[in-house]
Structure 1
């Protein structure tokens, strides 16, 4: 007698006899762990939209109030200069040593409020950056079908046969038609090859048998490499696993009896928890150095400000040149009129 734990398939039922199923297992999608975040989203998350709008309105209102103070005190000022002065005071946490006591009080109250907000913003931004987790690039098989990702599967495997035998126009059948059937690079020979391909390519998912993938990750990959591979929630194409026996085996009733006894006494459950491979345990609190992608928003913000400053500089040069030209024309006209007046005055 030869017994082994295999899936009960339609092609095997005709030539083998299967004992009582031990458990159900299926296939999963495996992909490379990666952070999927909008570029400026982490810097906006600490505050709600209403807080940002209120803070912007508070800055504008303070700038207008500062300009009003200068206007009442008969000092030269304009709203744009007042706005820049308020923003500079917020960033530098300094009042700029204004001469008027009323403006000083206004600056101090503004800086005190902004100091509290900045402490809260920094604390929440630190917590968000520290506790952030990798978001899956997709959540369902339909998302994989609609994306530009590639799919790998083992040739002549249970996963591939299940997709081929799926009902026409189903998601699994369409996935096989569009991403596997016409692509010679979509099939691999072993589970290990498929998982290595996932590590090498970001936009690639491997569809494999759950137990085999977890066993390979545990035995063939280092802990750091295993933690770089995530599995999609949800098991597809669940199938019962059982012991395969020769056709019309005389040991079938005996094996079924003892399998049921093992279920009743909890032995099957204890063996499953002890020997079946489990997902890799990763340290989510492990520190990771900041990458260039983390500071890219600040670089873009600086580049945008630099380009805006160049545009404003060109505009100021044009305005200055226009004013200077007008002043020269006016000065020339004055000289002409003065010359004409001096020429006509002696004649009178």
Structure 2
């Protein structure tokens, strides 16, 4: 439905309520309240205003009911002439708000999509106006001021004597209620706010603004005292059609960062350097590191207190068989008030808890064991050429041997060679030793020169790679991406239990990521670890790769040259603390954290706690260990053993021949 259509419905409803009401003279206070409301709406530029009526007023035909309706009529007229373009006015019943939301009574008007006989309107973008004159009004207000209606903008008209009764209501710290009450005359009004840090703590009432009507004779406001409860720099004083308004900025969080008396139960998990946990005698933990500094600053700024404990199951927060585990689970179940960790903000987690503003930016890296000489005991002297090169080389040597054998038998000028002679000649050439058997003619010499030329080229490439390999160590792994890991059936990729990575791999539409999750499921979740120490052991001892946040990877593995951190990063994500769904503390803590972030302190703490990583690519000469040369000695010993066997066979053969 269009906005113009909605305006028309609002107008019809209001006039339906007031058009046939007998006009009566309004009191001076009623007139002033209407003028104050008009200026208040102009100041904040609300998109719509809704006047809330109690059931007694809606149905009562008494004089008080008619006067109240007259007051609403006057309010509508003044708002219609407001300088703010576009505000529209409607009248709603208290019962509509008690029912759980803001609804406009439609009386079955045509062209309006109905929900029964009511249609919803947006109460969070406009202003609700209510008059608190009697205990009955207060009773109805208590019924409707709960749940999401506590987040609506309210303007309550009352008097100072009524403030004591207002303290019988719970006012969440995130409420957006302004209370207007007379000071010493009908033309001078103070504007106050009332809130509680928690339901168990005391009410805090502070005057945040003032409104004074213009004198009819001069058109200028009279002088009034400054609003003492609010610094001058946070206020805006402006003259409007009917009076002068002195009000603070609309961001109420600036005025409510004092959380004295608030005690938070904190759940956390170790993740250096973000959160390093130190055990206390009473079973709690002290958080040091980046988040420890942030939590300490929050305490100093807001005066809150907290007590932290390790999350019971060691998890971060994931949904398993319909139940949330880890820190998210503890917050959701009310076992903790806040989860202090670099928690990834994901859509699924956001259904179970609310996050503070994303104050950290994270991404994920993969780490694996760096190859060592011990991994190539049997291949240290053949890894210089790829498998297909060795195959081509073997075929070439075989062709040379056959060619030389045929040439010696077919040539009329060359001495005929045996198979063993040909093998010795070619082997001598390939190892750079030549042969004592002379080639007397051109065909044989050309074959011998070809064999020697092949040996020179092969030896140049082979020895250069061998020398550099012995000096610098084995080459880096050929694994660079998750695709490479999936192609190697011997490798396994794992992560910490309860982290958001399980959700990413499980729900991803990418076949590559889904394959990772399938492989983990097939192994009964064995690749998942509970701590970074466990992950470190698995990386060093198994064909295992570990993926975690870049900060944790660099802190845990960055100084150890036994591991290799893959160059590709994955899953950029914002991270923050988590609180219970709908917590009124979120806007306040967000304000404080944004102020801290804007000073650059978070980056400073990250630099302070992040150790320098080692450059494992720097060339260092190290003594060659026995394992590296073991292959050579094994080949030498094998050759000696084979020669002894052949010697014994030859001796036995010669003895047998001599008997005959």
Q: Please give the TM-score of this superposition, normalised by the length of structure 1.
A: 0.59
- Name the residue aligned to 1:281: 615
SS in 1 for 2:523: helix
2 CA distance for matches of 1:242 and 1:215? 19
- Indicate yes or no: 2:407 matched with 1:72: no
2 CA distance for matches of 1:148 and 1:89? 40
2 CA distance for matches of 1:186 and 1:32? 17
- Indicate yes or no: 2:524 matched with 1:177: no
Note the C-alpha offset of 1:239. Answer: 2.9
SS in 2 for 1:42: coil
| CA contact 2:502–2:517 (8 Å) conserved in 1 | no
- Name the residue aligned to 2:304: none
Note the C-alpha offset of 1:228. Answer: 0.9
- Name the residue aligned to 1:133: 475
Matches within 5 A, 1:151-190: 153-159=495-501, 170-179=514-523, 181=525, 183=526, 187-188=529-530, 190=531
| CA contact 2:494–2:546 (8 Å) conserved in 1 | yes
2 CA distance for matches of 1:100 and 1:112? 17
Matches within 5 A, 1:195-274: 195-199=536-540, 201-217=541-557, 223=559, 226-236=560-570, 238-242=572-576, 247=584, 249-251=586-588
1 CA distance for matches of 2:618 and 2:433? 36
More helix by proportion, 1 or 2? 1
- Name the residue aligned to 2:159: none
C-alpha change, 1:287 and 1:102, in structure 2 (3 Å) is same
Matches within 5 A, 1:106-125: 109=449, 113=453, 116-117=456-457, 118-125=459-466
Q: Please give the TM-score of this superposition, normalised by the length of structure 2.
A: 0.36
Note the C-alpha offset of 1:229. Answer: 1.8
| CA contact 1:163–1:173 (8 Å) conserved in 2 | yes
C-alpha change, 1:247 and 1:287, in structure 2 (3 Å) is farther
- Name the residue aligned to 1:18: 356
| CA contact 2:486–2:515 (8 Å) conserved in 1 | no
1:31 aligned to which of 363, 368, 379: 368
C-alpha change, 1:31 and 1:83, in structure 2 (3 Å) is closer
1 CA distance for matches of 2:493 and 2:464? 41
Larger deviation: 101-110 or 155-164? 101-110
C-alpha change, 1:179 and 1:56, in structure 2 (3 Å) is same
- Name the residue aligned to 1:8: 345
Can you list the C-alpha shifts for 1:76-114, whole angstroms capped at 9, x where unaligned? 754532442453466463553859698997798468636
- Indicate yes or no: 2:533 matched with 1:192: yes
Can you list the C-alpha shifts for 1:284-324, whole angstroms capped at 9, x where unaligned? 52335545664455566557756766776687678768866
1:42 aligned to which of 367, 383, 388: 383
Can you list the C-alpha shifts for 1:101-139, whole angstroms capped at 9, x where unaligned? 989977984686366333454234434555642315684
| CA contact 1:28–1:236 (8 Å) conserved in 2 | yes
Note the C-alpha offset of 1:206. Answer: 3.5
C-alpha change, 1:55 and 1:285, in structure 2 (3 Å) is farther
SS in 2 for 1:44: coil
2 CA distance for matches of 1:66 and 1:299? 36
| CA contact 2:360–2:575 (8 Å) conserved in 1 | yes
2 CA distance for matches of 1:160 and 1:299? 48
SS in 2 for 1:170: helix
2 CA distance for matches of 1:227 and 1:11? 36
**RMSD of aligned Cα (Å):** 5.4
| CA contact 2:359–2:597 (8 Å) conserved in 1 | no
Note the C-alpha offset of 1:227. Answer: 1.3
- Name the residue aligned to 2:28: none
2 CA distance for matches of 1:128 and 1:60? 34
More strand by proportion, 1 or 2? 2
Corresponding pairs, count: 308
Structure 2: 5+ residue stretches without partners? 1-256, 258-294, 299-339
2 CA distance for matches of 1:113 and 1:156? 62
| CA contact 2:471–2:622 (8 Å) conserved in 1 | no
